[in-house]
Amino acid sequence: MSYQIFNSTLPIVRNEIDIFLKKYSFNHSYQKALSIPYFRQKFITKIINSIPNNHILIDQCHPFIDDNFFYIELAKEKELIREKICSNIEDIVSEYNDFTNSDDQLIIQKKSKVHHSQKLSWWIRYETTKPTVTYYFGPFENFTEATNHSQDYLEDLMDENAQEITYDIELGNPHQLTVINDLEDLQKENELILRQLLENDSENKYYKNLFLQSPDIRLLLDNNLIIKDINYQGNILFTLSVDNLNNKHFTSFIATDSLEKFLIFIQDLKTNNLNNSSKSNFLSLRLSLPENLFLNVSIKISLISDSKGNIKGWDLSCHDITEIQKNHDQFYYESRYDCLTNLPNRLSLLEFLDNVLIEAEKNHSNKFAVLYLDINKFKSINDTFGHQIGDEVLVIFAKRLITCVRNFDHVARLSGDEFMIVLSHIHSVQEATECAMRIQQVLSTSFKINQMEIAVNVSIGIVIGDIKSSKVSDLLSRADMAMYKAKYSEQLFSIYHC
């Protein structure tokens, strides 16, 4: 891919000089001095060399992009150029006056002719490609005198940043002291640069409007994650004005439970940028808004970097997924919790058991217990009192089970009148049997429902698990066998012995 870099400050300087000269009449000293291409070019060079220059990088695919896409401050640049024009114009006029008043120089105006004298003189002719101009210096009495002065004029042109200079000494009288060799080409080049500048400005405004009018929240951050710009949608959702958002650290709007994830993600993007590796730049976060409001967002994070790959900032596009997240959380809850008792269901229990086995293997912890519970003669409760009362019995039963376990244990309803408890991190079988006794104790008090007292008792099967011999399917099967043993032998609980 080919690239082109052009100086976007140069056409602005030329335009500002033209605007400046419009204030003065044709006979004014400013107009006279700058009517001569040599002095005008020298004046432009002085200004260009005394101010920062903006350069725009163009490629074939993105002719509108430059490193400071959203940060061009054209008004400030013009103001600086105007100051330099006012501070340098007198120096150029002074040089012009010295030139026109010198005894050994010919007085000329733009495009004026050098009067032919009857005697031919020696002249030094310089050709430059940038600018594409022919300069004549003289006259001299002889070839030697012209040769002795040639180096001085050469150094003057080099000081003015002229490029690819060649010179010759010739006998004659030139028609003009300064000749712009390809004025038409220069004019076309200037028109092209101005056209490109206008096109770039139009493209910048177009993409700036896309940024401002985006239906998503759009933010621009600097390299330190400070907010530099935000679009209209962001102002609405943050319920803050631009002034209250700009120059604030973006992390101050990230919920505590999402902050670490965001910072790690940003660091990974920086690392991957240095290593030229690819990584998904999408992330889900929870934002903390004023008045204790929270917003779930999906964020696309893009690097803003210069042509050398140095990170200049971050472009964030945030899509509000609060309602989607609520629906997702609701679906997740319904898929893993029993709608009647609000206890975890079979799926949740299986996931918990898998995690217990993984954690036990990591920490080299050997023992945990699984208790399988079945309410005795629950069908007769439904037949005698009705299914609505039966449901209330299950709810009260679940609440009493929770009082018998620790906070980090797991109580689940498998189906119907079957429940299961997982006791993690136990040191002995006695801890499991003590839990079973607590359950039998809380169930010894009858359930009072609609002024009725209903006695409920349960059969409990216990299996002790360890990381060496346990599989989830085996644990459930053994606990089920122990429960049926307790039921048929009318024991309070039964332990499966491997």
Q: Is the pLDDT of residue 191 over 70?
A: no
Q: Residues 96, 98, 100, 105: what is their CA dihedral angle, to the nearest 10 degrees? A: -120
Higher pLDDT, 212 or 474: 474
Which has more pLDDT, 325 or 198? 325
The DSSP bridge partners found for residue 55 are: 7
| Range name among 3-17, 305-319, 392-406, 474-488 with the lowest pLDDT average | 3-17
| Candidate from 180-184, 254-258, 383-387, 440-444 with smallest mean pLDDT | 180-184
Of the candidate ranges 53-67, 121-135, 355-369, 437-451, the one whose mean pLDDT is the lowest = 53-67
pLDDT of residue 409: 92
User: Rounded to whole angstroms, how far apart are CA atoms 318 and 12?
Assistant: 37
pLDDT class of 190 with cuts at 50, 70, 90: low
Q: What is the pLDDT of residues 209-244, one digit of tens each?
A: 667 777 788 888 888 999 888 888 777 777 777 677
Who contacts 303 (Cβ-Cβ below 8 Å, separation ≥6)?
269, 273, 311, 314, 315
Q: Which pLDDT belongs to residue 7?
A: 62
Contact of 166 with 126, CB cutoff 8 Å? yes
Give the integer Cα–Cα distance in Å for 339 and 395.
Answer: 10
Q: Where do the domains of the chain lie?
A: 1-110, 220-326, 337-496
For the 220-326 domain, the top CATH level (class) is: alpha beta
Gap between the Cα atoms of 405 and 361, Å rounded: 23
Tell me the whole-structure pTM to 2 decimals. Answer: 0.50
- Region 40-68 average pLDDT: 63
Architecture of domain 337-496: 2-Layer Sandwich (3.30)
Q: Is 196 or 141 the better-scoring residue by pLDDT? A: 141
pLDDT at 439: 95
pLDDT at residue 342 is higher than 90: yes
> What integer pLDDT is reported at residue 192 of this predicted model?
66
pLDDT of residue 103: 43
Mean local confidence (pLDDT), 341-348: 94
Fold matches, 220-326 and 337-496: no
Beta-carbon count within 10 A of 336 CB: 16
Of 179 and 401, the structure prediction assigns the larger pLDDT to 401
